[in-house]
């Protein structure tokens, strides 16, 4: 396709059709099926004759753009992403997590005057740092038990260590993962083998707390609105990202209902509880 949106054939370079509809290739096949262009047209016809198979659901009879299941999954994915981000935005406001907040991390590796310090060290002192990020990084799959994202630390923010002004820039900041938040990000769930799993035992950088509120809340319209989420949905389900129906995940109904109640103010954060871990396929 040319820059102005007109289809142009890569064989004859004429406008109005592409290679799969090129009359010159068809004519060459009619005149001599064994010619180079004739064989090209034969391969095109053979490809067209094959049953269509959707690259998303794996069912024959349609392709990815016409997949009803993909359309449904996109809608659910967007709804889940928005309600999760709205819940996270509310939790951040209520916990004081914002620009300028002081955070104490209990399970991070960091650099000090004596070298690197690790959480298992006998003399480990949980570091305190300042939140300077303007935009949290959030993915609602990190809040769904049993997903790969939930079983990883799921980067959320970073903090600048107090007293790190003389360090090299790359040693001043420590990443903070998505923490366990009752009712929002479950602590206990199931792994790929359907075994009970404590997320705190699997992940680092997720056990932290706000010790002093920030001076500015994060602007949720920058990452929790439909305008922002919609392009993320499109990117997630793009063909190049190799997403298929088997990899799709959604919130259990009880968790989604609780998130919605929390966002709408029907329940308080103190009333939030993790739902029972759902069964996962082995």
Instruction: Give the pLDDT band (50/70/90) at residue 159.
Output: very high
5 pLDDT more than 60: no
Residues 161, 218, single domain; the answer is yes
Write out pLDDT tens, residues 87-107: 999 999 999 999 999 999 999
273 pLDDT more than 50: yes
Q: Give domain status of residue 235, yes or no.
A: no
Q: How many domains does the chain have?
A: 2
* 3-class secondary structure per residue, the chain: CCCCCCCECCCCCCECCCHHHCHHHHHHHHHCCCCHHHHHHHHHHHHHHCCCECCCCCCECCCHHHCHHHHHHHHHHHHHHHHHHHHHHHHHHHHCCCECCEEEECCCCEEECCEEECCCCCCCCCCEEEECCCCCCCCHHHHCCCCCCCCCCCEEEEEEECCCCCCCHHHHEEEEECCCECCCECCEEECCCCCEEEHHHHCCCCCEEEEECCCECCCHHHCCCHHHHHHHHHHHCCHHHCCCHHHCCCCCHHHHHHHHHHHHCCCCHHHCCCCCCCCCCC
Residues 139, 25, single domain; the answer is no
Mean pLDDT of 157-181: 90
4 pLDDT more than 90: no
Mean pLDDT of 39-67: 88
Q: Give domain status of residue 74, yes or no.
A: no
Residues 189, 107, single domain; the answer is yes
Q: Give domain status of residue 64, yes or no.
A: no
pLDDT at residue number 279: 59
Residues 40, 94, single domain; the answer is no
Write out pLDDT tens, residues 218-244: 888 888 889 999 999 999 999 888 899
Q: Give domain status of residue 238, yes or no.
A: no
Residues 136, 262, single domain; the answer is yes
14 pLDDT more than 70: yes
Residues 219, 89, single domain; the answer is yes
Residues 90, 26, single domain; the answer is no
Residues 28, 152, single domain; the answer is no
User: What is the reported pTM?
Assistant: 0.80
Could you tell me if 44 and 17 are in contact, meaning their C-beta atoms sit under 8 angstroms apart?
no
Q: Give domain status of residue 68, yes or no.
A: no
Q: Give domain status of residue 41, yes or no.
A: yes
Residues 219, 141, single domain; the answer is yes
Domain that holds residue 105: 80-229+248-271
Residues 114, 6, single domain; the answer is no
57 pLDDT more than 80: yes
Q: Give domain status of residue 240, yes or no.
A: no
pLDDT at residue number 212: 96
pLDDT at residue number 154: 76
Q: Give domain status of residue 187, yes or no.
A: yes
Instruction: Give the pLDDT band (50/70/90) at residue 2.
Output: very low
Residues 98, 164, single domain; the answer is yes
Residues 104, 193, single domain; the answer is yes
């Amino acid at each position: 396709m040319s820059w102005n949106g007109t289809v142009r054939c890569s064989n004859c370079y004429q406008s109005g059709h592409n290679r799969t509809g090129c009359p010159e290739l068809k004519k060459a096949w009619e005149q001599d099926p064994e010619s180079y262009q004739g064989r090209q047209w034969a391969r095109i016809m053979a490809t067209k004759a094959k049953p269509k198979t959707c690259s998303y659901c794996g069912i024959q009879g349609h392709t990815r753009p016409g997949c009803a299941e993909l359309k449904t999954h996109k809608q659910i994915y967007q709804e889940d992403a928005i309600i999760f981000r709205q819940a996270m935005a509310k939790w951040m406001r209520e916990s004081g997590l914002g620009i300028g907040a002081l955070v104490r991390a209990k399970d991070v590796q960091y650099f000090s005057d004596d070298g690197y310090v690790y959480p298992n060290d006998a003399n480990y002192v949980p570091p305190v740092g300042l939140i300077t990020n303007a935009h949290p990084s959030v993915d609602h799959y990190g809040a769904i038990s049993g997903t790969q994202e939930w079983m990883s630390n799921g980067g959320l923010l970073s903090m600048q260590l107090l007293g790190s002004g003389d360090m090299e820039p790359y040693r001043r900041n420590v990443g903070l993962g998505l923490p366990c938040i009752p009712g929002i990000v479950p602590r206990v769930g199931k792994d790929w083998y359907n075994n009970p799993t404590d997320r705190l035992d699997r992940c680092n950088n997720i056990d932290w707390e706000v010790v002093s509120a920030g001076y500015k809340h994060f602007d949720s319209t920058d990452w929790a609105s439909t305008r922002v989420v919609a392009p993320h949905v499109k990117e997630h389900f793009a063909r190049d990202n190799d997403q298929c129906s088997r990899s799709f995940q959604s919130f259990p109904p009880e968790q989604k209902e609780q998130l919605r109640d929390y966002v709408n103010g029907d329940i308080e954060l103190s009333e939030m509880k993790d739902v029972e871990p759902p069964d996962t396929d082995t």
